[in-house]
Structure 1
Amino acid sequence: MAPGGGVCKVVESHPKYANYDITAAKAEKRSTQIKSNSGWGEKHGMPSTNGVHELLECPVCKNLMYPPIHQCPNGHTLCSSCKFRVHNCCPTCHLELGNIRCLALEKVAESLELPCRYQSLGCYDTFPYFSKLKHEQHCRFRPYNCPYAGSECSVMADIPTIVSHLKEDHQVDLHDGCTFNHRYVKSKPHEVENATWMLTVFNCFGRQFCLHFEAFQLGMAPVYMAFLRFMGEDSEAKKFSYTLEVGAYDRKLTWQGVPRSIRYSHRKVRDSQDGLLIPRHLALFFSGGDRQELKLRITGRIWKGQ
């Protein structure tokens, strides 16, 4: 035992703490389910046999360590966030950690350049050690979340894999064409809580678009909403526009806008009201006015800007 070192019991807890780019570190740690033919599986986008990289891997969370890197009197290292998590006790030898910095390892980290973790998905750039995580948070090759809103789905993958997943696992309807005419029916229109209809995917201009339709409470008022999301990056989504229309009895509501990327969550788009918003009294009027059943027909068109 090192002089002055006390043995202490490691206790797992989750306090709040300050650290070098905690948000980025959590992004690297987050567990994801990847369903892709690309074979993306190398840890941190690099071979796990590299000795220097292994030295920089925290023994607790298995993420790359960023300053301050801490060490115990016996030289075992761990990251700043995990130092709090194990209550200042070394997870390897259980000595008290104190406030010893591993300056040599921090200096080694400064000299490294690493490939993006999404290298196997198409990003072939390399980055200085301290720029890698920031890049990966916005890398255009990072996988997409499944856009299905009817359940909590954790699948992440590239667009072709996501499309196959939607068809095979969620049984969504896939249609070819840039115009559509959809009918939405609900037998109890007064029940708006968690009323979400099946997602529809359109193949148009060689790209895919998701049509959402659901009911929710907007303040105290129940409403229905339809909106479109683009399966790709936001910069590409802005190249397209779409219209949605609903009506009956010589009256109609029309929406024209730009589809949002599926990088934005379904809930974020819905809560921003970026789509065709239909108050319930109008929805019931368009359905026939008897208030016994919702019967809405929504038509739409997608086009590409100049």
Structure 2
Amino acid sequence: MAPGSSTCKDVVDSRIAFVDYDTTTSNAEWRSSSSGKSATSLRGNPRTPFKDDVHELLECSVCTNMMYPPIYQCPNGHTLCSNCRVRVPKLCPTCRYELGNIRCLALEKVAESLELPCRFQNLGCHDIFPYYGKLKHEKSCKYRPYSCPYAGADCSVTGDIQFLVMHLKDDHKVDMHDGSTFNHRYVKSNPHEVENATWMLTIFNCFGRQFCLHFEAFQLGTAPVYMAFLRFMGDEEESRQFCYSLEVGGNGRRLIWQGIPRSIRDSHRKVRESQDGLIIQRNLALFFSGGDRQELKLKVAGRIWKNTEVDAGY
């Protein structure tokens, strides 16, 4: 047995002995598990609400995040997660004893017996998951908050759709329009400057949902191009319930794009890099603009409709 292994097991066993007598919980996520399904099964006992002692056992002593295998310990039984094990010096942050590479197998075994509610329970997810499956679920949970879809600056704000709509309106001063058809004019006095991407964002309210119209100028390889595309403020599965079309033209010509709006789960950069939208070469955009080709005056017309209309011949 590796040095210190028994120490960790003694600590685990001694602390678990107090679980049945502790009726408090340590944070909102653990408190929420008591409303609905009971959430833990330890050493064959009936399922009971989570307790402070078990929670603290699985908190990394360095970063205080929940620990997942491999879980490490020093010879005196102080535990830390694998990420912190890489970052900290050779000495235990708690007792300054040499760390080594001792796995805390007993604590990993305790974690295997636990079930936890999703961290987004207060947003509507009421499922319960094994301890080691919870993290994977939360990365794709349909109730997880959305990131702000504004593309003009790095914005770290997250929230549900209605919160983000108000955030876009109040904080980013984004234009809001009602209706499923639109005409959006993009004007640029010096269209030859496309070194940095230029973006515009407009929110359309229709069918009880919200859609983001993007128009960007960037280099596609060595060719300067403009691109327009629509994103849906919701999940990908919901986005497939809608279709949209975009049209630009001038001088007796027109260019049309039809597609399915991308969910805002995909960043605007990801959509742009996939070229999933209406792409207009700069020379063609200037031709559509007319005049002396020194100023861009491009009108983007569009329409959004429910996907059932596709079956009717659209």
Match of 2:95 among 82, 93, 99: 93
Tell me how far 1:49 sits from its aligned partner.
6.7
Distance 1:85 1:192, change over 3 A: same
Q: Which has the higher contact order (CA 8 A, sep 6+)?
A: 1
Show the counterpart of 1:182: 184
- 1:135 is aligned to 137
* Equivalent residue in structure 2 for 1:262, among 247, 261, 264: 264
CA 1:259–1:120: 2 relative to 1, 3 Å? same
For 1:148 and 1:173, the matched residues in 2 are separated by: 12
Partner of 2:234: 232
- 1:103 corresponds to 2:87: no
Corresponding position of 1:45 = 29
Q: Which secondary structure does the structure 2 equivalent of 1:130 belong to?
A: helix
Note if contact 1:159-1:232 (Cα within 8 Å) is conserved in structure 2: yes
AA aligned opposite 1:80 = S
Equivalent residue number for residue 58 of structure 1: 60
The answer (yes or no) to whether the contact 2:247–2:254 under 8 Å persists in 1 is yes
Question: Which stretch of the first structure deviates more once superposed, 282-291 or 46-55?
Answer: 46-55
Q: Larger C-alpha radius of gyration, 1 or 2? A: 2
Q: How does 1:1-306 map to 2 (within 5 A)?
A: 45-47=29-31, 50-306=52-308
Deviates more, 1:99-108 or 1:129-138: 99-108
One-letter amino acid of the structure 2 residue matched with residue 72 of structure 1: C
Q: What are the superposed Cα offsets for residues 162-199 of structure 1, whole Å, 9 maximum, x if unpaired?
A: 11100000000011100001111011110012242431
Q: What one-letter code is carried by the residue in structure 1 that aligns with 2:237?
A: S
How far, CA to CA, are the matches of 1:172 and 1:43 in structure 2? Answer: 37
TM-superposed deviation, 1:225: 0.5
Instruction: Judging by fraction of residues, say which structure has more helix.
Output: 2
Shift in Å at residue 44 of structure 1? Answer: 8.1
Question: What's the CA shift for 1:263?
Answer: 0.5
Residue segments in structure 1 that go unaligned for 5+ positions in a row: 5-41
Count, aligned residues: 267
Alpha-carbon contact 1:43-1:117 (below 8 Å) kept = no
1:273–1:202 CA distance, 2 compared to 1 (3 A): same
Task: Quote the Cα distance in structure 1 between the aligned partners of 2:215 and 2:280.
Answer: 11
For 1:178 and 1:61, locate their aligned partners in 2 and report how far apart those are by CA, in whole Å. 48
The alpha-carbon deviation at position 43 of structure 1 amounts to: 5.9
Give the 3 Å change call, closer, same or farther, for CA 57–279 of structure 1 in structure 2: same
TM-score by length of 2: 0.82
C-alpha deviation, 1:304, in angstroms: 0.4
Contact 2:61 2:78 in 1 (8 A): no
CA displacement at 1:87 relative to structure 2? 2.9
Distance 1:146 1:211 in 2: 14
Shift of 1:289: 4.2
| Offset of residue 102 of structure 1 | 1.6
8 Å contact 2:288–2:298 — kept in the other structure? yes
Amino acid in structure 2 at the alignment position of 1:218: L
- Kindly indicate whether the alpha-carbon contact (under 8 Å) linking 2:251 and 2:290 is maintained by their aligned counterparts in 1: no
Structure 2 SS opposite 1:199: strand
Q: Which amino acid aligns with 1:248?
A: G
Deviations 1:51-103 (A, max 9, x none): 21121011222211112211112111001121111133211111111122222
Aligned 8 A contact 1:189 1:291 in 2: no
Identity %: 73
TM-align CA RMSD: 1.8
